[in-house]
Structure 1
Amino acid sequence: MKLSVIGCGYLGAVHAAAMASLGHDVVGVDVDVAKIAKLAAGETPFFEPGLAEILSAGLGSGRLAFTTDMSAVADAEVHFVAVGTPQRKDGAGADLRFVDAAIDGLIPHLAPGSLVVGKSTVPVGTAARLAALVDPTGARLAWNPEFLREGFAVQDTVRPDRLVYGVAEASREQDTAVLDAVYAAAIEAGTPRIVTDYATAELVKVAANSFLATKISFINAMAEIAEVTGADVTMLADAIGHDARIGRRFLNAGVGFGGGCLPKDIRAFAARAEELGKGESVAFLKQVDEINLRRRQRLVDLVVDSFDGQVFGHRVAVLGLAFKPDSDDIRDSPALDVAVRLKGLGAEVISHDPEAVPNARQMHPQLEYAASATDALRGAEAVVLVTEWREYRELDPDATAALVSRPVVFDGRNALDPIRWRAAGWTYTGMGR
């Protein structure tokens, strides 16, 4: 099929390249000239495992192209809108300027019978409003939320764990058939498919993210109790995780969640619920957010306390800057936040991350960045692990002890083995352990 993808940021670039890898002819459109030039040259503007390979293959086959010219979408059968919906600067709600601009730019180029498919995460009610703008062109609108995990985005696009179609009742069968053709490979592989209305499709993504955020903050709340009782939150999570109704995934206590989705999505969901007069229904999300942010300060406090309350002038190695491993995304990153807070208290912070240093340096040039984990560790009086990259999880405690001047480690992700590290002479502190 001939597809267009409007917006070539994280979501859009991955979606465009993945659709081309499935055999579709795809054109990606974005207003960012520099980003389009990179993509067209086969360069990924961000780190995502597997993306470079399918991007290069798509360009080489001629099935994938990128442009800033919206008129290039005119012969596409399906138009995916994959622009960002960041948190508004004047409040907690979602900023829909980019979604509205994408639709406004598309309308002059829509052919009767074509399908506009929203993938952006939007407040419930947005799709119905946009459908009223699209319908007069003879095109139709559907909503197909994304469920990408950074670090696994290519896999999640090509082989998703579920497909959700939000469609208008009047064109339900027609729109379902079109989306089935787009995702034929996934459907043939047995991917579950749910066909529903606009509002349900919009709510699926924010509801899923809210549940995951709640689960993470729940175990971090238990970590706070564990810290004052002497319990081990990791063993607690193992024990309750054996209950099939609960499950072990997303019960890893630590410094909390971040990134471009969970934090802004739960805030936007709470804001939209207030607008609908149902703020009390998701009032707990404010507590979820507060618990999450509190864990960052808790880690900073632990580091400061280890220096008898004064971290000024002490050399602290911060391992990790991205909000999660296998990503260079620093949006709302707990790791970067911890580094900045320690720097603000006067610590000599030396940070390292396998992929996120360029992004972090651009946002926070006041920090010192090491070229390698070894360079960051050398002479450190405290080591703070905040992003659980594999190379950090596999550090040898004996070899690492030879690099630092004071063998004190703070495991912000509970990713290290306390027994091994303590046996090597380290003072080990986890979160809720």
Structure 2
Amino acid sequence: MRVAVIGTGYLGAVHAAGMAQLGFETVGVDVDEAKVERLQSGRSPFYEPGFDPILAEQVESGRLRFTTDFSQIADADVVFIGVGTPQKADSHAADMTYVDAAVASITPHLKDGALVAGKSTVPVGTAQRLAEYVAENTPEGVTAELAWNPEFLREGFAVQDTLHPDRLVFGVTSERAEKVLREIYANTIEEDGTPVVVCDLPTAELVKVAANSFLATKISFINAMAEICEAAGADVTKLADAIGHDARIGRKFLNAGVGFGGGCLPKDIRAFSARAGELGAGHALEFLAEVDKINTRRREHVVDLARVELGGDLRGRRVAVLGASFKPNSDDVRDSPALAVAGALHLSGAEVHVYDPKGMENAAKVYPTLTYAPSAEEALAGAELVIHLTEWQQFRDLDPAALVGTVKQPIVIDGRNALDPELWRGAGWTYIGLGRP
């Protein structure tokens, strides 16, 4: 069985390499010539733990290749769509330009019996529209069908989530489509016992946005509790531990801090709300607007705390920011809380020095006016305030005692509640955690 993957961004490139790793002859297709050239040389255009060795191995083996020529999908039995669906500039709705263009580009080249499997996160109703397009526009004598197989990749764990997913969702309209997808994922289904949910197209489309909306709600809930804890003098980390022991709730995603970011959760909850409104069911997701507001409010709160700690005025004050990527083990700075806070500090007149192990090159493209340090220690040198915003292990491992003499004032705001308060306070630091006394 031959596989094609349209789109070689974060989702598409990892999925293509994963398919090759599972033994399928795979071609990745993208319109970005520079990206394709880099991938074809076995080099990743982004940072993802464990991805580079698999990419290089599979390209060298010949099972994996990349091209800008859509006609190269002509012998593919399954064509996955893995392009982006960014938020529209003029609304919260998802921009379907890239998905529509991908389907239009592959349809003339589909062979008889091919299965198009969408992985992109799309508004519910998209799959049916695209299925009709494929049926109407394939070459004469060619019959192809469309299924939806949403992705659930976590940045930092994308290789694991591709090769060993925690669940598989097949949105199909025929037994044959289900059979083809089961063959593609036979290794993980049979060896890992991965559960498979077979459903219709609309349900498959809703799974990803529903999951992300739930996670975003859980994060914003604990951040709302952090606001209450700060007002009451309570400790949100202990509160989270206590309610997390309830099996109905669970401890995961109950880490209060500066909030969520990245290329999925923020845009997905907004696009989901927008689509619900188009369907006449906008009232059902009104709570997501508050989820979004709470998340944004936590970023503003960190800036307010910084202003208080520096006497009410940030102008000319040197602040060290630890973190630029939206999460550790990633160089992704899309909607990054760390960069949002750093940018707001800079706009308030602070002299901001940022360090991130992997995200600084991308961060500099978004916020070129910030100062980027080559190490955490150099970012902290002379700082009047340190703000920890991305929970890289490297930052957790810092020795606060050794850093006291580096900074001008030993004050740290832990925007992720990931540092050890006793360790830092014991070393002479003023430690401020979010939602903690």
**Once the two structures are superposed, what CA deviation does each residue of 1:358-395 show, in whole Å capped at 9, x if it has no partner?**
00111211000000111101111100000000000111
- Give the one of 158, 161, 167 matched to 1:153: 158
1:239-254 matched pairs, under 5 angstroms: 239-254=242-257
Look up the equivalent residue of 2:374 and give its one-letter code: A
1:264-279 matched pairs, under 5 angstroms: 264-279=267-282
Tell me how far 1:419 sits from its aligned partner: 1.1
Which residue in the other structure is 1:180 paired with?
182
Please give the alpha-carbon distance, in whole angstroms, between the structure 2 residues aligned to 1:303 and 1:7.
41
- Please say if 1:17 is aligned against 2:17: yes
Which residue in the other structure is 2:226 paired with?
223
Tell me how far 1:119 sits from its aligned partner: 0.2
Which residue in the other structure is 1:255 paired with?
258
SS in 1 for 2:106: helix
Please give the alpha-carbon distance, in whole angstroms, between the structure 2 residues aligned to 1:39 and 1:126.
29
- Give the one of 191, 196, 214 matched to 2:194: 191
Please give the alpha-carbon distance, in whole angstroms, between the structure 2 residues aligned to 1:288 and 1:24.
41
1:22-421 matched pairs, under 5 angstroms: 22-136=22-136, 137=138, 138-168=143-173, 171=174, 173-188=175-190, 189-421=192-424
**Once the two structures are superposed, what CA deviation does each residue of 1:244-300 show, in whole Å capped at 9, x if it has no partner?**
000000000000000000000000000000001111101000000000000000001
Tell me how far 1:54 sits from its aligned partner: 0.5
Aligned residues: 430
Tell me how far 1:345 sits from its aligned partner: 0.6
Please give the alpha-carbon distance, in whole angstroms, between the structure 2 residues aligned to 1:365 and 1:217.
30
Please give the alpha-carbon distance, in whole angstroms, between the structure 2 residues aligned to 1:351 and 1:31.
33
Q: Indicate the RMSD between aligned Cα atoms, in angstroms.
A: 0.6
Look up the equivalent residue of 1:132 and give its one-letter code: E
Look up the equivalent residue of 1:118 and give its one-letter code: G
SS in 2 for 1:36: helix
**Once the two structures are superposed, what CA deviation does each residue of 1:48-72 show, in whole Å capped at 9, x if it has no partner?**
0011011001011100000000000
SS in 2 for 1:164: strand
Look up the equivalent residue of 1:237 and give its one-letter code: A
Tell me how far 1:334 sits from its aligned partner: 0.2
Moved more, 393-402 or 408-417: 393-402
Look up the equivalent residue of 1:404 and give its one-letter code: V
Please give the alpha-carbon distance, in whole angstroms, between the structure 1 residues aligned to 2:41 and 2:382.
42
TM-score (ref. length: structure 1)? 0.99
Structure 1: unaligned runs, 5 residues or longer: none
Please give the alpha-carbon distance, in whole angstroms, between the structure 2 residues aligned to 1:349 and 1:217.
27
Look up the equivalent residue of 1:417 and give its one-letter code: D
**Once the two structures are superposed, what CA deviation does each residue of 1:141-173 show, in whole Å capped at 9, x if it has no partner?**
0000000000000000000000000001xx2x1
Structure 2: unaligned runs, 5 residues or longer: none
Runs of 4+ in 1 over 6 A off after TM superposition: none
SS in 1 for 2:202: helix
Look up the equivalent residue of 1:349 and give its one-letter code: V
SS in 1 for 2:261: coil
Tell me how far 1:122 sits from its aligned partner: 0.2
TM-score (ref. length: structure 2)? 0.98
Please give the alpha-carbon distance, in whole angstroms, between the structure 2 residues aligned to 1:71 and 1:50.
30
